[in-house]
Amino acid sequence: MKKAWIYTLIGSVAGFIINYFFYNSENIGLDIFYALSFGVAWGMAYFLDDSKFSLPKKFLISFGGMGVLVLVGSLIFDFKLAFPSILKFSTVFVAYYMIASLRSSKSMRS
């Protein structure tokens, strides 16, 4: 669990740097929100990368995370601005498991 928080923190910082310096949305709050969605996705992907979670359970938890991001983003900003957080979140999930699939253990944990 501790490493999942570290992934979340590092992913959030990296996501903020990418959003702030390369996309320059001129809305620091939105940059922070997108960075958090990026970091939470890395942390959650690492946390769910465990054999104790079945594939359907991983899907349900990740879809729940996306739903929470959109709900919070819609409350703070607008649905149009919150929706890209789903794209960032799901892209990170795909990237994480694609990288993990290249390893012989099929996991980034071991």
Query: Quick check: 81 pLDDT over 80?
Result: yes
Does a structural domain hold residue 97? yes
Does a structural domain hold residue 67? yes
- What is the tally of structural domains in the chain? 1
Does a structural domain hold residue 50? yes
Does a structural domain hold residue 79? yes
Does a structural domain hold residue 107? no
pLDDT score recorded for residue 73 = 92
Domain that holds residue 83: 2-101
Query: Quick check: 24 pLDDT over 80?
Result: no
Cα 72–Cα 51–Cα 93 angle in degrees, nearest 5 = 40
- For the entire predicted model, the pTM comes to 0.83
Largest CA distance in the chain: 43
Does a structural domain hold residue 109? no
Q: How far, CA to CA in Å, does 72 sit from each of 81, 86, 95, 101?
A: 11, 12, 24, 32
Closest CA to 62 of 50, 45, 79: 45
Does a structural domain hold residue 110? no
pLDDT score recorded for residue 102 = 84
